[in-house]
Amino acid sequence: MNTEEAAREIVVLVVDDSPIDRRLAGAIVEKSAEWKAAYASNGVEALAAIKREQPDIVLTDMQMPEMDGLELVAEIRQQFPLIPVILMTAHGSEDIAIQALRQGAASYVPKRILAQELAPTIESVLAVVAVDQRRRRVLAYLRKSNLHFELPNDPALVPPLVLMLQENLLGMNLCDETGRIRLGIALEEALVNAMYHGNLEVSSDLRRDSDRPYLEMIERRRRLAPFKDRVIRVDATLGPDEAVFVIADEGPGFDPNQLPDPTNPSNMEVTSGRGLLLIRTFMDSVAYNAQGNQITLRKRRELPVKRVDRGKRP
């Protein structure tokens, strides 16, 4: 990366018809010295802004006049597939948000926890977006790949591993650019779950009021036996028709039958269920072993995305 690239600001286009909510989200974005907020009040304005100067990420409300969040997601996937979209959800917009995730959105953050979760969500999405153009040329000729990794409980290793797996998918043509980003999000969520909840046995309940107790427990257990000696095993089999990822941790596991239904709109506001919702939405098949310490993700070749007519719901 040259000096100019390193110094470039990340532009986040905030789309919301409420001036207060729009500025609130923008203020959270600009707390990072490396991020800059741009603004639009609905989907039509957002598309015009993207055509003038493409942002790195679009952050959009769901319920807006002229063009809502669902329609905006569909248009961005058609016209600008390299730009990921993060949804801002509010009570009453859960059904349309789940449709938008299925259409092509990369992630979502409930508005009630925007201050807490927006920055980490933007960071996780940015981590799976970029692929060097020179590597693209070589990887376009890759036809099959079998990979095995054994990872220590170091969260810094997750983004580069996800990027490597994404890169290996480029030659397979399993999905478009939006699909590649979404697959990367699902893999990152599955790996983080295996590390934090599996190997380190840290409960999401610690995040109920603040991230601090949760993060402190993670760092403490990374240095304590037996947690520090556990590894995550990742097996990836990539081919032209299907990609299969098996992620196993060495924790005690859990009963998969006790998991809440992540596709139920009422569960979208639950922070602990967001990762599972994204995994199940972005993958074609998700299965746990009986012990609950291994997850198998399957992604089959995607059909071309059909354009959604304005005013119609899929």
Question: Tens of pLDDT along 170-201?
Answer: 778 788 888 889 999 999 999 999 999 999 99
Biggest alpha carbon distance in the chain?
A: 57
Same domain flag for 138 and 217: yes
Q: Within this chain, do residues 54 and 157 fall inside the same structural domain, yes or no?
A: no
Q: CATH number, domain at 202? A: 3.30.565.10
Boundary of a domain, candidates 86, 102, 127: 127
Q: Are residues 142 and 245 in the same domain?
A: yes
161 shares its domain with 121? no
| Per-residue confidence (pLDDT) for residue 59, from 0 to 100 | 98
Cα atoms in the 13 Å half-sphere on the side-chain side of 156 = 2
What pLDDT does residue 304 have? 63
Rounded-to-integer distance, Cα 163 and Cα 154, Å: 16
Identify the three-state secondary structure at position 121: helix
- 137 in the same domain as 121: no
Q: Residue 59's domain is classified under what CATH number? A: 3.40.50.2300
User: Under 8 Å CB-to-CB from 56, ≥6 apart: which residues?
Assistant: 10, 11, 12, 83, 126, 129
How would you label 73-84 residue by residue, b for 16+ Cβ within 10 Å and e otherwise? bbbbbeebbebb
Q: Is residue 273 part of a domain?
A: yes
CA angle 285, 245, 302 (to 5 degrees): 50
Task: Give the count of domains, the chain.
Answer: 2
Is 307 a member of any domain?
Answer: no
Q: How many whole angstroms separate alpha carbon 58 and alpha carbon 106?
A: 10
Same domain, 153 and 227: yes
One domain, residues 216 and 167: yes
Give pLDDT, residue 134: 67
pLDDT tens series, the chain, 314 aa: 344 444 578 999 999 999 999 999 999 999 998 999 999 999 999 999 999 999 999 999 999 998 989 999 999 999 998 899 999 988 767 788 889 998 899 999 999 889 999 999 999 998 888 666 667 777 778 888 899 999 999 999 999 999 889 888 877 878 888 888 999 999 999 999 999 999 999 998 888 778 889 999 999 999 999 999 999 999 999 988 999 999 999 999 988 888 777 666 666 666 667 888 899 999 999 999 999 999 999 999 887 655 555 444 44
Note whether 86 and 21 are same-domain residues.
Answer: yes
Domain termination residue (choose one: 109, 127, 145): 127
166-195 as b/e: b if 16+ CB within 10 A: bbbbbbbebbbbbbbbbbbbbbbbbbbbbb
- What would the pLDDT profile of 214-267 be if each residue is shown by its tens digit? 999 999 999 999 999 999 999 999 988 999 999 999 999 988 888 777 666 666
d(CA 269, CA 64): 20
**Domain boundary at 127, 150, 166, which?**
127
Question: Which amino acid makes up residue 88?
Answer: M
DSSP, collapsed to helix, strand or coil, labels residue 222 as: coil
Domain that holds residue 45: 3-127
Q: Quote the pLDDT of residue 133.
A: 60
SS3 content of the chain, % helix, strand, coil (to 5): 45, 20, 35
